[in-house]
Amino acid sequence: MTPKKIVVFMIGVLLSLLWLTFLSREYVDVENEEVIHGIKIGSFQMKYPTFWDIFSHREPIKNDKAMAIIQGKEPKIEKDTLNAELVNNRKFIFPKDINHLRDSIEAFLEGGNPKLISNVEGQIYYPEPMQEFVKRMNEKLSQPTCRILHYGDSKIEGDRITSYLRNGLQILYGGSGPGYFPIKTPYGQRSIIIQTTGNWFRYALFNAEQRKNKDLLPNNQYGLYANVCRFTPARGGDTAGLKTASFTISPSYAYYSRLAEYSQITLHYGNCTVPTLVTVYENNVEIRKDSLITDGDYHAYKLHFDVTPKKLKLQFSSRKSPDFYGVTVGSDQGVQVDNIPTRGDSGFHFTRLQNTYEAMSRELRPDIIIFQFGGNLVPYLTKDKVVSSVKRIITNMQWVQKRNPEALLFLIGPSDMLRRSSKTTYDIIPVLVEEMKKQTAENGFAFWSMYEAMGGKNSMKIWYDNRMAASDLVHFSDKGTERISELLFQNLVEDLLSVQSVEMYRK
């Protein structure tokens, strides 16, 4: 081939590739759950840039507010959404060591209570009357026992965010232990060490793959924690012979010292219709043997200890497994916080749960319930669907509130999320956040915008550049998780200071 023909061939190839950029469109990549640019014909799909992706000029992304937040500095407030009073001459300074928090608060409150600042970017938005909501929250936290449920999507898996919040509240109000965990954990769990023997199955109503394969519980009795573990399959009769399975827990020292201290362990179960033997071992020594109640209803099997067991094993034998709704581990006083991740869900699964949820609510009596959802909506959401999508979340929150009428409810909105193609914020996020503010206020729920708290538009790019976000530009790194958790907890404490008495901190 002559040089001239080679040049003509290369130009032809380049023009063909350029022509394809005009065929490229925005479409949903179902496998990776994101909206991308590419070519899609039937089931065939291929990522490919558009003409403007290549030739449009993009300014380097800057966000001074996000950078200040990352560095622990006071960001400039550009927006006061409800004309709130911003002046607060007495700003509480958090100690570098959170274990000194009580002493710092005691010294601060000697000067009186600060003014409650709400309805401002980055702060918690409270419904009216705001001061009354915060006062009720402090009263619940100050009770002899207070249980908090933290539902959320994949951003809270492995006790992320929840663990920091739990540790801080237990420092202030007492309590210990990691709270809830499932017997079979589909994600990394650092707040407690759990090992299983036998063939355990996990069922979750929010699991899209199980719904697709119709591998769900026949009765939708998933309990308060929205998933069930069993050592025989849910569908089918009794097994040919006895099946034996067990789980063993040990305290974890990977996060905070209070996680490794607990005196109460409760096994939540139901749908037990055939004789089931449970044998309890502490440090390989049998300490208890019981039969679970076989009436099919929900029950709580409780164990109490004077000293945290170094190793505790529960072994089960039966022809047919009961439904195990989870295990709660904690203390008989103070704050208990349950981390309940529902990967892939947008907070829509609650209304499909059956009456075991209500029975467990009566047993556990949650005082504060946090919902952290919205991120899974973002890649697919259009403006005309925002109001109805938020309404659907609110409807599910109302369903939970009806079964826990004394509980205070919070909604945490999505973080900033970036399109992989452009590395810029999804345009729908601020629209979604504003609608969440509106509907939570109308329904008496508190709201915290993670998007605003981390710096708003394109803040995830700044967090990623500072090693605080994962490469998917959606999730946080461990370092970023700690920072966003600090922001939530510090906002909460600053609000509580407006109603707290210095007497609760005096020794």
196's CB contacts (< 8 A; 6+ apart) are: 183, 184, 245, 246, 247, 248
Per residue in 61-92, pLDDT (tens digit) is 778 899 999 988 776 655 444 444 444 456 89
Q: How far apart are CA 196 and CA 190, in angstroms?
A: 15
pLDDT tens for the chain, 507 residues long, are 687 777 777 877 777 777 777 777 665 554 444 455 677 776 667 776 776 566 554 556 778 899 999 988 776 655 444 444 444 456 899 999 999 999 999 999 999 999 998 888 889 999 999 999 999 999 999 999 999 999 999 899 999 999 999 999 999 999 999 999 999 988 878 899 999 999 999 998 877 666 665 677 878 899 999 999 999 998 766 666 899 999 999 999 988 999 999 999 999 999 999 999 999 999 999 999 999 999 999 999 999 999 999 999 999 999 999 999 999 999 999 999 999 999 888 899 899 888 999 999 999 999 999 999 999 999 989 999 999 999 999 999 999 999 999 999 999 999 999 987 778 999 999 999 999 999 999 999 999 999 999 999 999 999 999 999 998 899 999 999 999 999 999 999 999 999 999 998 887
**In this structure, are residues 272 and 312 in contact, taking their beta carbons and an 8 Å threshold?**
no
Alpha-carbon gap, residue 258 to 98, rounded angstroms: 13
Interatomic CA distance for residues 178 and 170, integer angstroms: 11
Q: Which residues of 348-381 are buried (b: 16+ CB within 10 A; e: fewer)?
A: bbbeebeebbebbbeebebbbbbbbbbbbbbbeb
**pLDDT score, position 31:** 46
Look at residue 29 and give its three-state secondary structure.
strand
**Model pLDDT, residue 240:** 66
Q: What's the helix, strand, coil split of the chain in %, to 5?
A: 35, 25, 45
- Candidates 323, 129, 312; CA nearest to 222 is 323
pTM for the model stands at 0.86
Alpha carbon distance 298, 36 (integer Å): 46
Which residues are CB-contacts of 5 (< 8 A; sequence separation ≥ 6)?
none
pLDDT digits (tens, 9 = 90+) for 307-318: 999 999 999 999
Q: Show Cβ contacts of residue 78 under 8 Å, excluding neighbours closer than 6 positions.
A: 65, 121
